[in-house]
A = this chain, B = another copy of it.
């Protein structure tokens, strides 16, 4: 992580990996602002300090750029969540009961999200946009929802139905996040979640 922002306009030829990281970072921000339909390759290229064909050289197409952004996020999120809970990444989802509880995971998730509003907005916008079946991220988000429901549901102790609880937890988190994003200065996401969690978990 060197300086990412003060990019040089005058002929900055970067190694592919670094340029790709920059492109994904910029795209993440722009999708959060305008959605995927509203994203233009021109804008991405401008913010990276290169031309549109130069951008396409790295990402191939607009659709595959979106996929790259999503995959990058999932990877980073899993890594961060694991370290925040003090659990090795490969044990994050495989272990069912005992290792971590659902309230713990949620608290960690919310606290992480509270620090990166742009990423949260990216997912909020794409989550809604991708409801349309022909959206390039439609399948991705459908699979993601299934994955989240099963993995979170597995953390719920037997008496209650795991999927139902997971569904409510996810709904509440998503909804609170949107309210927070609309009014980030006066709405305290962490406090709102903790209050809601008190009600939801018995």
Contacts and interface: CB of A to CB of B under 8 A. Distances in A.
Interface of A: 33-35, 37-38, 121, 124-125, 127-129, 131-132, 141-142, 145, 164, 167-168, 170-176, 178-179, 181-183, 192, 195-196, 199-200
Give the number of copies in the complex. 2
Given A171-B179, A179-B167, A199-B168, A131 B142 contact: no
Given A128-B127, A132-B33, A200-B199, A174 B178 contact: yes
Contact of A175 (B129, B132, B175, B183): B175
B124 A125 contact: no
Given A34-B132, A182-B142, A199 B196 contact: no
24 contacts: A33-B132, A34-B132, A35-B128, A35-B129, A125-B128, A125-B129, A127-B178, A129-B129, A131-B178, A141-B182, A142-B182, A142-B183, A145-B183, A164-B192, A167-B176, A167-B179, A168-B176, A171-B171, A171-B172, A171-B174, A171-B176, A171-B179, A173-B175, A175-B175
